[in-house]
Amino acid sequence: MTAAGKAPSVLAAALAVLLCCGSGAHATEVPIRTAGMAASVKVRTLLDIRYRTIVRQQHDFSCGAAALATLLKFHYDTDITEAELVEAMMRTGDPGRIRSQGFSMGDMQRFLAAHNVKANGYWAKLEETAEAGIPFIVLINVRGYRHFVVVKGIHDGRVLVGDPALGLKIYGLEDLQAIQEGPVFAIDDFVEVGRNSFNRPDEWRFRPKVTEAASVARPGGAQLMNLRPPGEF
């Protein structure tokens, strides 16, 4: 049998591994061996794909840091980790308040200002903010738990959301507005960079089931976020 003839068995083995794979957060390189042929196949689980353009939060209190890391890394070409943001924002914020209530938009704004990046909160509806064509952070209230997420795109009444606790999700526009609280948080600088990363086709191609507000579960380990009044937020 030729090598070409053996290809289907290699593909079948790779698919079997994919279907049986666990929920690890990274792609796994799996060796595939058949008679007279060896290959190595990189396998990505659905969970890998769900978090491909999202920084996953590592602490109960850090969804704000993970959301900001997601915004910077995947929308503004700035390679920064959640851990680096946690450390930096802890230095300029109140560590006790942060550990018990989480980061605020004010913490995010101070971090960016310290690096000469202008950002602000805007009291606007989601569709109004979307007209600017840039990604932004919003605070949602999930059954009493406040949680930061990144709005990655809005199209045809649907919202593509990067959730640091749950991965990539799609909401109906009205459903997300029903659980949104407070202002939206956006970076004012580097507008063209932001616009080039908003509504990315490759992110929309991964199509999780549309989430309705009434069916949203509490993100695992999420803590109350401290959204400050306008001017401090």
Residues annotated as catalytic are 63
Strand partners, 36: none
How far is the C-alpha of 89 from the C-alpha of 72, rounded, in Å?
Answer: 15
Distances from the Cα of 7 to the Cαs of 18, 33, 45, 100, in angstroms? 17, 11, 22, 54
Amino acid at 152: K
Distances from the Cα of 47 to the Cαs of 6, 101, 170, 178, 200, in angstroms? 30, 28, 15, 27, 19
The candidate with the shortest Cα–Cα distance to 44, out of 58, 55, 54, 30, is 30
How far is the C-alpha of 109 from the C-alpha of 71, rounded, in Å?
Answer: 13
How far is the C-alpha of 87 from the C-alpha of 126, rounded, in Å?
Answer: 30
How far is the C-alpha of 24 from the C-alpha of 133, rounded, in Å?
Answer: 33
